[in-house]
Amino acid sequence: MKRFFVFLLAVLLCIVIVGCGKNPVEGTINPVEDTINLIEDTNNPAEDIINPVEDTTKPPIEQVEQLGFSGGNISAGGLLCDGGDGYIYYRSQSDGWKLYRAKPDGTDKSKISDRVGHNINVLDGWVYFLDYPEFNPIYRIRTDGTEETKLVDGYCGSLYVAESSIYFDKRDETNASHIYRADLDGSNMTLLFSEASLMYYYKGMIFLGAGQLGVYNIETGEETILDDTFVANVSVDDSGLYYWAYNEGEFRRMDLDGGNKGVILKGGDFFNYTDGYLYYMGISENENGPYHVINRLSVETGDIVTLYEALNEFFDRDGNLIGVTYKQMNEGNFNPDLFEFNSQGEMVLKGGGEPLSESVGYVYVAGEFLYMRASLRDDILQNGRFDSIVRLDNGLIIWD
């Protein structure tokens, strides 16, 4: 028995010795990270030991504030917003501009308010908007159409809803615009900046417009002038600040600190910068004359994709082409028997009504989906209307 005990002790001692001689990579909790470190530096294996408690090289995780808007949708009028819940919230062109929601493909459509909403934001189960007929007070309503409440009375504009507050501008009795914040239920309204219009809100900063472009840090109270020109269609993300310099006819960008200012595009209209792409209306031309196009420009590569080409022929109120192109109309080279002048001196069709042409406008970005308010011949032919919301991300579809 004593010999067996001595033998067993010897075996255990060998096992311990062999175990201590193993490769340290096999004995660690995270073999992948340790293997990489040993390969990168084999001269000093002691430095390769990873201590997850003491490792301070990793930057802290940034807490991203939830926003009720995206890209340049609000400065484009805010007629449509992705709710993040599988629905698009929008002002219906087919039902008197009332507030609706629908799936991205247009199904499961329902009215959530009789009010005419714009500057639409959706956050945390609530829809925030300005009511146009009532001269733009701020309302909110639950996404299921319940608990509609007026939050702020008066002539408001540029509504940006974030997790921290709602931000907006509001006109006083002299029609001067001032920038405010309020809690998400409309309480604790506070003046942030006098005699300026709100152009955008991003990460604790409000971007100001009053004949020039500025930024105001809400926490520190510091104001910085970024560009000394009249601006519109402002949009901001981590990559920079994007805006239309109105007087110069240029769409520009700069870093958030005002550096690296440059021009992305000259000319165009109806701009919406969102997530690395600039959506805008441009002009092209073919044998029928000039026509409007809706383009998407990649800010990184400069590549341009045309999403829609507007028809450059005139048609009547039933959608029938009348045989006159833009080029013919501009040159006066058309059959005058098609037209007559009414009592106001306007040229109208002899069969009744004025000659119609297509018009396009802002693109609204809702996640991966693209929408646009437009007046198109196809809408007349399909629905007997001349004012619709179309979807553009997979060809043209009359959506509402």
DSSP H or E segment with residue 167: strand 166-171
Token pair belonging to 343: 């009592």
Region 92-118: mean pLDDT is 97
CA distances (Å), origin 34, targets 24, 42, 53, 59, 67: 9, 11, 15, 20, 40
For 42-51, 112-121, 243-252, 358-367, which range has the lowest pLDDT when averaged over its residues? Answer: 42-51
Q: Quick check: 207 and 199 in contact, CB under 8 A?
A: yes
Region 44-62: mean pLDDT is 48
Query: Per-residue confidence at 62, pLDDT binned at 50, 70, 90?
Result: low
Is residue 378 predicted with pLDDT exceeding 90? yes
The residues, any chain, with a CB within 8 Å of residue 142's CB and separated by 6 or more, are: 125, 126, 127
Q: What is the pLDDT of residues 161-180, one digit of tens each?
A: 999 999 999 999 999 999 99
Long-range contacts of 92-96 (CB under 8 A, 24+ apart): 92/389, 92/400, 93/373, 93/385, 93/387, 93/388, 93/389, 93/400, 94/383, 94/385, 94/388, 94/400
Q: In this predicted structure, what is the pLDDT of residue 58? A: 57
The Cα 128–Cα 141 span in angstroms is 7
The Cα 380–Cα 318 span in angstroms is 6
Q: Quick check: 330 and 341 in contact, CB under 8 A?
A: no
Return the residue matching tokens 């959530």.
Answer: 112
For 21-25, 95-99, 349-353, 365-369, which range has the lowest pLDDT when averaged over its residues? Answer: 21-25
Per cent of the chain over pLDDT 90 is 81
Is residue 17 predicted with pLDDT exceeding 50? no
Region 217-244: mean pLDDT is 97
Query: Per-residue confidence at 390, pLDDT binned at 50, 70, 90?
Result: very high
Q: Quick check: 285 and 291 in contact, CB under 8 A?
A: yes
Query: Per-residue confidence at 59, pLDDT binned at 50, 70, 90?
Result: low
Is residue 33 predicted with pLDDT exceeding 60? no
Q: In this predicted structure, what is the pLDDT of residue 181? A: 98
* Averaged pLDDT of the chain: 87
Neighbours of 370 (CB within 10 A): 22
Query: Per-residue confidence at 351, pLDDT binned at 50, 70, 90?
Result: confident
For 35-44, 177-186, 301-310, 327-336, which range has the lowest pLDDT when averaged over its residues? Answer: 35-44
The Cα 299–Cα 61 span in angstroms is 27
The more confident residue out of 17 and 207 is: 207
DSSP H or E segment with residue 325: strand 321-325
Query: Per-residue confidence at 211, pLDDT binned at 50, 70, 90?
Result: confident
* C-alpha torsion 179→183→187→191, nearest 10: -20
Q: What is the pLDDT of residues 69-104, one digit of tens each?
A: 999 999 999 999 999 999 999 999 999 999 999 999
DSSP H or E segment with residue 324: strand 321-325
Q: What are phi and psi of 57, to 5 degrees?
A: -80, -25
Q: In this predicted structure, what is the pLDDT of residue 210? A: 78
Written as one string, the DSSP assignment of 60-85 is PPP-PPPBS--TTTTTTT--EEE-SS
Is residue 357 predicted with pLDDT exceeding 70? yes
Q: Quick check: 378 and 391 in contact, CB under 8 A?
A: no
Is residue 15 predicted with pLDDT exceeding 50? no
3-state helix, strand, coil in the chain (%, to 5): 10, 45, 45
Per cent of the chain over pLDDT 70 is 84
Q: In this predicted structure, what is the pLDDT of residue 61? A: 61
